[in-house]
Amino acid sequence: MTVRLVLATRNPHKVQELEQILQATGLDVSLEPMPGSAPDVVEDGLTFSQNAAKKARSAAAATGLPAVADDSGLCVDALNGMPGVLSARWAGSGKDDLANLRLVLDQVSDVPDSHLGAQFVCAAALSVPGGPDTVVEGQVRGRLVREPRGEGGFGYDPIFLPDGSDRTTAEMAAEEKHAISHRGLAFRALVPVLRDLSAQGA
Amino acid sequence: MTVRLVLATRNPHKVQELEQILQATGLDVSLEPMPGSAPDVVEDGLTFSQNAAKKARSAAAATGLPAVADDSGLCVDALNGMPGVLSARWAGSGKDDLANLRLVLDQVSDVPDSHLGAQFVCAAALSVPGGPDTVVEGQVRGRLVREPRGEGGFGYDPIFLPDGSDRTTAEMAAEEKHAISHRGLAFRALVPVLRDLSAQGA
C-alpha cells in the first residue's frame, strides 16, 4: 500500500530533489511536507549520519509517520574534509549558498590545481515511529573548479566537477545529476527498506 | 661569534614575538628584518612545515644569510584541524584577524562545549645558505572560548584557552605566553642548531 512519507527538511531545493529522486524509483509513496509545527532540529552532530538520523527521528516523532531526512555537504581535501557538516553555514549563520562557495574558493585560492580534490557526501536517514532507523551514505568524488559554472542544482554544485565529467553538477540536467549524485545514491540505497515498509502496510 | 639571522616574515606581530622569544634564549644573534626586495612567497604548502621551510629558504637565498621563518595556525577539532595552514586567510583574502576569529566562532556556534578542543601549532624553520634546513614544530593544546577575551597577542589568541589556564593567550603577558606557546616551544627547539651555527662562525 501507499506509504505516507514525511520529507524532513525545510530546504526547498532538497524537497525538490528528494521528490524527483524518490518518484523516479517507482515506489508507491506519498511524499508529505514537514508540518510547520514540527520542531526545529539543532544540527550539532559531528557526522552527516548523526544529523540525518536526528532530523528524521524528530520529524517521525512529531508526525507519527515515517520520515526521511538528508544531511549532506561538500568535503574538500585541502580543507581536511570541511566544510563537511558545516556546509550550509560555512560563511557564518545567515549567509547564502553564494557566500559559502565564494569563501571556499577564496580559501583554496593558493592551493595548487593538483590538490583540488573533493567529494559530495549525503547521509539519507529513514525513521519509522516505533521502528528502527536506517541511515545510508552516498558519495561522489570529483574536484573543485575555480569559478562557478552552471545554473542548476544548489549549494556548491556550481564549483563541483564530478570525476569523468567536464561539466559541474550545476551544468547537468536534474535527472543526469541525480543518476550520479551523492543524494541520488544515498536515497536509492533506501529503496529496499521503503519497499519493505510498503509491503508491511505502514 | 654573533650570528646574523634574518626574520623571514613581514607580519609585525611575528617579528615582535620572534624577537622576544629569541632574545630570551641568550643566544648571540643579531636579528635582521626581511629586506623589502626579498620576493613574496606563495604559502601553498599543505603543512606548516612545508610553508615555514619555503619561507626560510626563500629569505636565505635572497639575502645570503641564515633565515628563520614561522608558519603557524589554529587547528580546531570540530573543523577537522582547520583553519590550519589557512589560518591567516580563513575568512578570505584581505580579511583581518577579527574577521577570521569571528568566522571560526560562527562556524562552531552549534558545536557542543564538550567538542571545542583545539591546538595552536607552529613550525619554525631555519635555512642556512649552502647548508641544511631545519624544521621543528611546537604545539599547545587547549580549547576555544565562545567570545574573544584579552588584548594581548594577535590572531586567534583571544579565543584560545590553553589547557590548565583560565585565561586566553591574549590575556597573558608576553613572557608568560611565550613560556607555553606553540611559537615559544618551536623556536626554543631551534636553539641548539643556532648555537652550532654561532660556534661555526656563520
- The predicted pLDDT at position B198 comes to 85
The grid coordinates listed for A92 are: 557564518
Round to whole Å and give the CA distance between A165 and A149: 13
Beta bridge mates, A113: none
Which chain A residues have any C-beta within 8 angstroms of a chain B C-beta? 42-44, 46, 78-82, 84, 86, 89-93, 102-103, 106-107, 109-112, 115
Instruction: Show the CA angle centred on residue A139, arms to residues A158 and A154, nearest 5°.
Output: 25
**Cβ separation of B78 and A44 shorter than 8 Å?**
no
Q: Closest CB to B109: pick one of A84, A93, A115.
A: A93
Range with the lowest mean pLDDT among A73-82, A174-183, B14-23, B193-202? Answer: B193-202
CB A103 within 8 A of CB A90: yes
Which pLDDT band holds residue B15 (cuts at 50, 70, 90)?
A: very high
The grid coordinates listed for A141 are: 568524488
Range B139-145 average pLDDT: 98
3-state secondary structure labels for all residues of chain A: CCEEEEECCCCHHHHHHHHHHHHCCCCCEEEECCCCCCCCCCCCCCCHHHHHHHHHHHHHHHHCCCEEEEEEEEEEHHHCCCEHHHHHHCCCCCCCHHHHHHHHHHHCCCCCHHHCEEEEEEEEEEECCCCCEEEEEEEEEEEECCCCCCCCCCCCHHHEEECCCCCCCCCCCHHHHHHHCHHHHHHHHCHHHHHHHHHCCC
**Cβ separation of A81 and B86 shorter than 8 Å?**
no
Instruction: Answer whether the bond into residue B33 is a cis peptide, omega within 30°.
Output: no
* Domain extent at residue B146: 3-200
Q: Is the pLDDT of residue B140 over 90?
A: yes
Rounded to a whole number of angstroms, the CA Rg of chain B reads 17
| Nearest alpha carbon to residue A15 among A168, A187, A185, A150 | A187
ipTM for the assembly? 0.80
Output the tens digit of pLDDT for each of chain A's 202 residues: 788 999 999 999 999 999 999 999 999 999 999 999 999 998 888 899 999 999 999 999 999 999 999 999 999 999 999 999 999 999 998 899 999 999 999 999 999 999 999 999 999 999 999 888 999 999 999 999 999 999 999 999 999 999 999 999 999 999 999 999 999 999 999 999 999 988 886 5
Round to whole Å and give the CA distance between A195 and A81: 34
The grid coordinates listed for B121 are: 601549532
Alpha carbon A42 to its chain's center: 17
Task: Compute the mean pLDDT over every residue in chain B, rounded to the nearest whole number.
Answer: 95
**This prediction's pTM:** 0.88
Instruction: Determine which of A43, A71, A80 to mutate to test the interface with B (most B C-beta atoms within 10 Å).
Output: A80
Q: Is the pLDDT of residue B18 over 90?
A: yes
**Cβ separation of A106 and B89 shorter than 8 Å?**
yes
For residue B116, the domain's CATH number is 3.90.950.10
- The predicted pLDDT at position A46 comes to 87
Active site residue B71: yes
Range B89-105 average pLDDT: 95
Range B100-106 average pLDDT: 97
Domain tally, chain B: 1
The grid coordinates listed for A1 are: 500500500
First to last CA, chain B: 8
Q: Closest CB to B80: pick one of A84, A102, A106.
A: A84
- The predicted pLDDT at position B200 comes to 82
**Cβ separation of A106 and B92 shorter than 8 Å?**
yes
Tens digits of residue pLDDT in B61-80: 999 999 999 999 999 999 99
Round to whole Å and give the CA distance between A93 and B150: 25
Q: Closest CB to B93: pick one of A43, A92, A106.
A: A106
